[in-house]
Structure formats: structure tokens, C-alpha cells
């Protein structure tokens, strides 16, 4: 019986109904990441504002962020369509659990799986007997073996970097490619997740107050300059009031 999208390759354990094989010691499969000091505080704010302003002025929404990749050292319990990516809070949980440092794992609410098309999502759900309505233009929520899945098909992306560089909060800007066993990370995301720190990517697809509140409820904190940047995002045309109604509330 298949219980979840990924399992690691060492000693057995369980977490929230998904069978997962946890490493007992700090894993060695991650390549060295974050070799340079991350910009923070006022300098980061100025850098974000520069790129946000340029993007809004030139209508170029390609985020200027650095993407790092390494082996995910995982195998998929499901067979995913090509181009599919596992991201969101489950990816954070997976990475932090196996990096072995920080303030404990980040609990996930559901498992976000991104698909290149609605047809791919429907085929995946049908194959694994996940019954759901696909009337929503963005996603479908399904349950499988006691786990909640969010099958997302309404977000266009060309590459993993294209997807995660335009997430709003950097801590969740991670994606596992289950077909190629590769983990893609926006530089700084691991530090943010392990230290429960809210940092915004400079040109996200969208941003919502409910999303910010969701992370604060998870004991994430935001410093003054990032609060200022969030205020600028809300004032920009990136912010859409309709998104508040679509944002999940846990």
C-alpha cells in the first residue's frame, strides 16, 4: 500500500500518517549550499525594492534569485507525470527533518503537488483513486490513505526555479522533482525555514495577509525591514484582494 509521495532510504519511522524512512544521523547527501553570506536587514530590503520596482515598471516578473540544486536522495511512492514538483510545507518538513539542525521540523498541513497541466492532475488522481472535483481553476483537494493532497494545476512554470523563485515566502521556496530525484532550493530558504524566519522573494506571483498570518501561527517571525517590504508588496499590483479569499486558512 502506498502512503505518501516520498520515502527516504534509511531507518523506518512515521510522521502524520505518511510512511517515511528517516535518517538517524545527519545525512551526507546534500552538496554544500549557501557558500556566501546572505544579505539581510536594510541592504536586503533595498535590493528587494530595486527588483520589485524594476519588475513593476518593465513588466518583467522573472525573479532575480539564486537557485541551488542537489540530490533529494528520495524515491517516489507514486509515479508522477513529467514536470511535476512536490513543494510547500511538506517539502520544508522533508528538508529540515533530514538536514538535522534548527528548531525542529516544520509541520505540514497537506502535500502540495504542482502539475504542468490540469490533464496531468486529473490523470494522477484517477490512477490512484483520488476522488475530487476539478472545477476550481487553480487546484483540487483530495485525500488518499489519510493524507491531504493539494493538486495544483493553475500555476504556469517552465522549470523548478521558475516556480519556486516566485513563491511569496522564501522559507517554502523549495521543490522536489520526484522523477529526477533532485531538490531545488531558493538560496537562503533552508536558513529561513530552520530559524523560523520570514523573508519575501522580491517579485512573487502573489502575496496575502492570510499567508503571512499562517506562518506567524507556525512561530515564524518577521523583522522590521521585511515588514516594510510586505507593506510595499500589498500596495503594489502584485496584491489582489481576491487572493485573500482563495488562501487556505488553517
Q: What is the pLDDT of residue 26?
A: 38
Our CA angle for 75, 119, 19, nearest 5°, is 25
Classify residue 6: in a domain, yes or no: no
Closest of 155, 154, 169, 150 to residue 209, by C-alpha: 169
The percent of residues above 70 in pLDDT, for the chain, comes to 82
Angle between helices 224-235 and 41-58 (to 10 degrees): 10
Q: Are 220 and 187 in contact (CB under 8 A)?
A: no
**Computed from CA positions of residues 132, 153, 169, 241, in that sequence, does the dihedral angle turn out positive or negative?**
negative
Classify residue 4: in a domain, yes or no: no
Classify residue 81: in a domain, yes or no: yes
Residue 93 has pLDDT above 90, yes or no: no
Integer Cα distance of 216 and 223 in angstroms: 12
Q: Of the spans 6-10, 58-62, 141-145, 235-239, which averages the highest pLDDT?
A: 235-239
Domain region containing 55: 39-246
Classify residue 77: in a domain, yes or no: yes
- Which CATH number covers residue 49? 3.30.460.10
pTM as predicted: 0.84
State mean pLDDT over 159-170. Answer: 95
- Supply the DSSP symbol for 17: T
Classify residue 10: in a domain, yes or no: no
Classify residue 207: in a domain, yes or no: yes
C-alpha dist (Å) from residue 213 to 13, 70, 219, 221, 229: 31, 31, 10, 10, 16
State mean pLDDT over 161-166. Answer: 94
Q: Which of 26-40, 153-167, 211-225 has the lowest mean pLDDT?
A: 26-40
State mean pLDDT over 104-125. Answer: 90
Classify residue 17: in a domain, yes or no: no
Amino acid at each position: 500500500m502506498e502512503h505518501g509521495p516520498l520515502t527516504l532510504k534509511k531507518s523506518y519511522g512515521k510522521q502524520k500518517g505518511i510512511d517515511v524512512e528517516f535518517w538517524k544521523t545527519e545525512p551526507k547527501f546534500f552538496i554544500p549550499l549557501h557558500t556566501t553570506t546572505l544579505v539581510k536587514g536594510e541592504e536586503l530590503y533595498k535590493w528587494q525594492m530595486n527588483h520589485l520596482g524594476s519588475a513593476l515598471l518593465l513588466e518583467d516578473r522573472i525573479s532575480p534569485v539564486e537557485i541551488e540544486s542537489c540530490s533529494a536522495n528520495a524515491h517516489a511512492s507514486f509515479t508522477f507525470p513529467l514536470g511535476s514538483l512536490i513543494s510547500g510545507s511538506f517539502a520544508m518538513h522533508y528538508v529540515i527533518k533530514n538536514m538535522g539542525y534548527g528548531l525542529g521540523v516544520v509541520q505540514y498541513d497537506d502535500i502540495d503537488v504542482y502539475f504542468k497541466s490540469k490533464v496531468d492532475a486529473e490523470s494522477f488522481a484517477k490512477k490512484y483513486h483520488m476522488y475530487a472535483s476539478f472545477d476550481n481553476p487553480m487546484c483540487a483537494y483530495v485525500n488518499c490513505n489519510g493524507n491531504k493532497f493539494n493538486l495544483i494545476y493553475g500555476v504556469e512554470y517552465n522549470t523548478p526555479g521558475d516556480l519556486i523563485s516566485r513563491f511569496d515566502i522564501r522559507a517554502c521556496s523549495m521543490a522536489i522533482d520526484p522523477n529526477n530525484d533532485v531538490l531545488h532550493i531558493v538560496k537562503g530558504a533552508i536558513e529561513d525555514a530552520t530559524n523560523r524566519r520570514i523573508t519575501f522573494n522580491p517579485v512573487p506571483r502573489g502575496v496575502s495577509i492570510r499567508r503571512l498570518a499562517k506562518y506567524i501561527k507556525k512561530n515564524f517571525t518577521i523583522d522590521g525591514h521585511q515588514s516594510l517590504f510586505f507593506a510595499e508588496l500589498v500596495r503594489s499590483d502584485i496584491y489582489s484582494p481576491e487572493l485573500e479569499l482563495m488562501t487556505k486558512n488553517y
